[in-house]
Amino acid sequence: MAAPAGTLSPPTLRQILERPDVWRGDALAGTRLPGVPTGFAELDGELPGGGWPRGGLIELLPICDGVGELSLLLPALARVSNDELSWLVCIAPPYSLHAPAWSAGGVDLSRLLVAGASGHDAAWACERSLVAEGVGAVVAWLPDARSTVLRRLQLAAENSRTLLFVFRPALCASQPSPASLRLLLAGEGDQLRVRLLKRRGNACATPVLIAVQRPVPLGHALAGSSTSAPAARRLSQSAVA
Amino acid sequence: MRPGSRLAAAWAVLPNLTVRARDDQREQAVLHRLACWAGTFTSDVCCLPPQTLLLEVAASLRLFGGAAALFERVVNGCAEQGFEPRAALAPTPLAAQWLAAAGDAVPCLHPDELPARLDKLPLAVLPITAPRLSRLHGFGACSLADVLRLPRAGLARRLGADLVADLARARGELPDPRPRFVFPERFAERLEFPAGVENASALGFAGRRLLAVLCGWLTARVAGIRTCVFEFEHEPRADRFPVSVLSLGFAGATRDVDRMAHALLERLPRFELPAAVVAIVLRADTSEALPGRTAGLFGERGTVAGADSLALLAERLQSRLGPGAVHGLAMVAEHRPEKASRRVTPPPPSPGASAIEPTRGARPLWLLAQPRMLREEAGRPHCGGPLRLLTGPERIESGWWDADEPGAVGDVRRDYFIALSVRAEWLWIFRGREGWFLHGMFA
């Protein structure tokens, strides 16, 4: 590497190790910007920067829709929308966003933008949202994105302070990805099991169990499934009658 | 070649000469377009046919960062419009005209330096007929300085009072009021191509020129637009003049040329043209008042950081993804889940507007567009396996008022349950008249 004239001394190893894009394989990487707290201390401890890292693509691979993948993001999204007063952009969501639930989750609806798109248009919309000023987080569903598209988004994210979450099917877990952080999500009881497939720094072998917000605690379920169904039937039949 | 020589004589000298008839009407249209464009710099524009445009810029000097910067912007802007102006800057309109005619582009800023600058000008810049000009030469005058040295009374008697008055006006000794150009009520400007154009980038380039003119017109009128219409005229074919219309819409009133050009450039590649384009017309019928923005005194950023750029983003997304694809969300005080969430056009309403009491029951983040019917086995709903009902029922019975309207959700009677599937999906299901349905997910 050519040193600029005047500073003749080459960089020391220590200086190189202090760079945010260089990290040791036996420890978590440092980050240029502090992460956005996830709202779950167990997860914060395992992420470089102590939270969702800015300036990188975060790839989320839920086993199936509805395991709690959005509840995992909600605390951070609420923080972005309410504390930082910045915008939240959802791109190509697979279902309709139900406003009362998002509002109850702490997201300010007046700073939420939803864009329906498909294929390349969705990736393009991500890239545009990343460079726009005032956008705090982008959440995108890109089930068919190729690795070239993801690489491009990763590069766009590196030049931006915006959080970028991309949801892809769990089948993609075996494929290589340019994302700086990859999480595999599965439900386990009323908790969410998060496996860190990839992060900057040492590998994380054990999955993290996170108590995401659930509509009801499991313990307070209707007393046993055998009695609940007939009860339900009786009630609904009386409703229909 | 000299002006006034006959065409036959010209051909004799230059056999390859291409001759084009002068089209006064088109020249006037171009001058009108440039006058509109000049509104970018000042609202005090004077249009002097056939080829002169006067801009009174004294009030604009500070806004544009000084006379030199402003002058450069005007000249460069003219070049962007496709013209090479002979421009000059002087304290009096006539002096500016004469300096421009002499090709002296160095800005003259002070009335004190004006006489010295005028002295150097050749006699050809004077608006007088050829015989009078030769008479002046006969007096032994070679430059304006020589003319100014002559006794005024004698000059007026020999060459007319007009010349003497003009000399006084140019030097600022007599007032020289000029009629103001009246910016039209509705904007419609046309740009012709020398040949048919099929290339989207060339159309975008021409479109940007017209948008710059539109922005000049809007600036002079202190207005902004929400919509404008591009009409692409095609080559006339069999007595038809086919026209393709492209309408651009903006989230808010604007007169930002870059913003408009972005929207145009996003739309153009996807816009299908049946044939090559020979001319573009840009129309803007309705404009609304849009006051200028006060620049920050301390270099601070706006208090609503990002609100502006978000409108821009929404607009760019919309122009590529389609008008209905980009929306905000708002809550509605309604019990039926389909109606409790409403799409709103971006930018969404201000935070105070959505003061709706949240519902008591848990609501899912995802709502299916249409409830999906679930299988029922042994009295229990199935979704990839038997479902475990966690809470419920929450009865929702509402909507008799729009039961007969087409497309409405209508009267519903449903018992909602929160259910857990074997794959640990948290589902929102209901039992209605027809059986079990999946309606949402607590993702």
State whether A215 and B317 contact (CB < 8 Å): no
**Which domains does chain A possess?**
31-232 (3.40.50.300)
| CATH number for the domain that contains residue B198 | 3.30.1490.100
Q: Are B64 and B118 within one domain? A: yes
**Other CB atoms closer than 10 Å to residue B17's CB: what's the count?**
11
Of A172-181, A223-232, B135-144, the poorest mean pLDDT is in A223-232
The reported pLDDT for the residue numbered A1 is 44
The reported pLDDT for the residue numbered B73 is 92
State which H helix or E strand residue B41 sits in: none
Which residues in chain A have Cβ-Cβ distances shorter than 8 Å to B334?
A: none
Domain end position, chosen among B145, B170, B195: B170
Reduced DSSP (H G I as helix, E B as strand, rest coil) percent helix, strand, coil of chain B, to 5: 35, 25, 40
B295 pLDDT band, cuts 50/70/90, is: low
Mutate to test the interface with A, among B313, B396, B434 (most CBs of A within 10 A): B313
Domain end position, chosen among B233, B260, B289: B289
State whether A70 and B365 contact (CB < 8 Å): yes
In terms of C-beta density within 10 A (0-12 exposed, 13-18 middle, 19 or more buried), how is residue B84 classed? exposed
- The distance of A142 to chain B (nearest Cα, Å) reads 16
Q: Which residue of A lies nearest to B345 if distances are taken between CA atoms?
A: A113
Token readout for B291 is 């006051």
Mean pLDDT to the nearest integer, A127-145: 89
Rounded CA gap, B427 and B381, in Å?
11
pLDDT value at B289 more than 70: yes
Mean pLDDT to the nearest integer, B103-121: 87
Mutate to test the interface with B, among A113, A139, A188 (most CBs of B within 10 A): A113
Q: Is B93 inside a domain boundary?
A: yes
Q: Are B47 and B119 within one domain? A: yes
pLDDT value at B80 more than 80: yes
Q: Are B95 and B216 within one domain? A: no
Q: Are B119 and B256 within one domain? A: no
Q: Is B89 inside a domain boundary?
A: yes
Q: Are B235 and B278 within one domain? A: yes
Q: Please state, in angstroms and as integers, the Cα–Cα distance from residue B103 to each residue in B89, B125, B134, following that order.
A: 11, 10, 22
Q: Please state, in angstroms and as integers, the Cα–Cα distance from residue A181 to each residue in A29, A148, B425, following that order.
A: 12, 17, 24
Q: Are B49 and B130 within one domain? A: yes
Q: Are B99 and B161 within one domain? A: yes
State whether A71 and B363 contact (CB < 8 Å): no
pLDDT value at B105 more than 90: no
pLDDT value at A17 more than 50: yes
The reported pLDDT for the residue numbered B303 is 39
Rounded CA gap, B331 and B359, in Å?
11
The whole-chain average pLDDT of chain B stands at 85
pLDDT value at A4 more than 70: no
Across the interface, which of B321, B415, B443 has its CB nearest the CB of A125? Answer: B321
Q: Is B16 inside a domain boundary?
A: no
Q: What is the tally of structural domains in chain B?
A: 4
The reported pLDDT for the residue numbered B238 is 65
State whether A222 and B317 contact (CB < 8 Å): no
Q: Are B204 and B113 within one domain? A: no
Which residues in chain B have Cβ-Cβ distances shorter than 8 Å to A187?
A: 423-426
State whether B310 and A132 contact (CB < 8 Å): yes
Contacts of A46 (CB under 8 A, 6+ apart): A28, A196, A199, A204, A208
State whether A134 and B305 contact (CB < 8 Å): yes
pLDDT value at B250 more than 80: yes
Amino acid in position B429: I
Token readout for B394 is 């929450």
Task: Evaluate whether B220 touches B39 at the Cβ level (below 8 Å).
Answer: yes
Q: Are B386 and B431 within one domain? A: yes
Domain end position, chosen among B231, B255, B289: B289
The reported pLDDT for the residue numbered B348 is 53
pLDDT value at A5 more than 50: no
Q: Are B40 and B94 within one domain? A: yes
State which H helix or E strand residue B265 sits in: helix B257-267
**Other CB atoms closer than 10 Å to residue B307's CB: what's the count?**
16
Contacts of A159 (CB under 8 A, 6+ apart): A55, A130, A131
State whether B390 and A216 contact (CB < 8 Å): yes
Of A94-108, B46-60, B154-168, B234-248, the poorest mean pLDDT is in B234-248
The reported pLDDT for the residue numbered A220 is 57
Rounded CA gap, A81 and A15, in Å?
36
Token readout for B249 is 């819409």
The reported pLDDT for the residue numbered B239 is 65
Q: Are B257 and B323 within one domain? A: no
The reported pLDDT for the residue numbered A8 is 56
Rounded CA gap, A3 and A11, in Å?
9
Rounded CA gap, B85 and B35, in Å?
13
State whether A117 and B369 contact (CB < 8 Å): no
Which residues in chain B have Cβ-Cβ distances shorter than 8 Å to A214?
A: 426, 442
Q: Is B28 inside a domain boundary?
A: yes
Of A224-238, B203-217, B247-261, B283-297, the poorest mean pLDDT is in A224-238
Q: Is B70 inside a domain boundary?
A: yes
pLDDT one-digit tens code per residue, B118-129: 888 888 888 888
Helical segments of B48-91, H only? 67-80
- Percent residues over pLDDT 90 in chain A: 27
Task: Evaluate whether A110 touches B328 at the Cβ level (below 8 Å).
Answer: yes
Domain around B326: 308-359
Q: Is B316 inside a domain boundary?
A: yes
Q: Is B179 inside a domain boundary?
A: no
**Other CB atoms closer than 10 Å to residue B203's CB: what's the count?**
23
State whether B326 and A113 contact (CB < 8 Å): yes
Mean pLDDT to the nearest integer, B11-26: 84
The whole-chain average pLDDT of chain A stands at 82
Answer yes or no: pTM beyond 0.95. Answer: no
The reported pLDDT for the residue numbered B350 is 53
pLDDT value at A142 more than 70: yes
Q: Which residue of A lies nearest to B314 if distances are taken between CA atoms?
A: A113
The reported pLDDT for the residue numbered A81 is 86
Q: Please state, in angstroms and as integers, the Cα–Cα distance from residue B104 to each residue in B108, B117, B155, following that order.
A: 10, 9, 26
State which H helix or E strand residue B338 sits in: helix B337-340
Q: Are B240 and B346 within one domain? A: no
